[in-house]
Amino acid sequence: MDRIPTGVKGLDEVLNGGLPKGRIILVVGSPGSGKTTLAMQFLVGGAKAGESGLYVSLDEKPERVKENLASYDWNLDGLEHEGKITFIDATQLRRPGQRIVPSKVESEGGVNLILPELTLPVLARTIRRVAAEENIQRITIDPITSLMLRYPEEAKLRRAMLLFFDALESTGCSCIVTSELRTSMLDRSFQLEEYLSQGVILLRTMIHEGNVIRAVQIEKMRGISHDAQLRPYQITQTGIDVYPKDRVF
């Protein structure tokens, strides 16, 4: 199976070379665990390798996301300007009846949708259209949680998620989808999106003897062999930094 680098060197080592190409990988973590950081680092790493990226923002406006990430040495504005990262502002779902305006495309008279309400199928169609027009290779959806809440019935949510993941895959792009952890890590319930995606990267925050410890764990990665151990990580000026040979304690 073809691999692509994640943009996080230590993580590529844990993955024995990178993420599987053209797949949907879930990044699950608690508040502040660095889900958005990792998701954008994936696009930045792609841009450096010549792959165009698409960032779909569900909860925060793209301007705000860029501000939040401004302390990293990534030059997101430059990458957007060069067309290496395109942003879709999908936060309008908050106000029914308004437009979804992919930020970059619009200035070129591109996609310009009227949405009565954003749903998983509508989002999938939008992403497929933009991915085709912009020649996208990497996609980040951050986070999927808001849309999942629209399906309170578990059987229907499962079906909708399977169809959404199918649609994403049909773009041929490599995708990272972030998801919010519902409960802390001990004795937790597994979330259905963990079963439906092809890989799951957990960003854990543990308290051990009074210390807060951050650890990444490849819970699942279909199709490639990988290190299944907990590996410590930190959030530094270059983003997520994984120590692939260290133990958490």
Q: Which positions from 22 through 81 interact with its own copies, judged by CB under 8 A?
A: 30-33, 36, 59, 64, 67-71
Q: Given the complex with its own copies, which of 59 and 133 has the nearer CB atom?
A: 59
Give the integer Cα–Cα distance in Å for 117 and 158.
20
Q: Does 97 bind its own copies (CB under 8 A)?
A: no
Interacting residues with its own copies between 197 and 216 (CB under 8 A): 198, 200, 205, 207-212, 214
| Cβ–Cβ under 8 Å, residues 62 and 22 | no
Q: Given the complex with its own copies, which of 110 and 238 has the nearer CB atom?
A: 238
Give the integer Cα–Cα distance in Å for 246 and 153.
42
| Cβ–Cβ under 8 Å, residues 163 and 121 | yes
Q: Does 128 bind its own copies (CB under 8 A)?
A: no
| Cβ–Cβ under 8 Å, residues 51 and 224 | no
Q: Which of 235, 238, 241, 243 binds its own copies (CB under 8 A)?
A: 235
Distance (Å) of CA 213 to CA 205, 230, 245 = 6, 11, 16
Q: Which amino acid is at 122?
A: V
- Judged by CB under 8 A, the stretch of 47-55, 101-109, 124-132, 234-242 that binds its own copies is 234-242
Number of residues binding to its own copies, judged by CB under 8 A:
72
Q: Which two tokens stand for residue 195?
A: 């079963």
Pairing relationship of beta strands 85-89 and 99-102 according to DSSP bridges:
antiparallel
Q: Does 170 bind its own copies (CB under 8 A)?
A: no
4 DSSP β-pair partners: 19
In the complex, least distance from residue 230 CB atom to its own copies, rounded to whole angstroms: 6
In the complex, least distance from residue 101 CB atom to its own copies, rounded to whole angstroms: 16
Q: Which of 13, 196, 241, 243 binds its own copies (CB under 8 A)?
A: 196
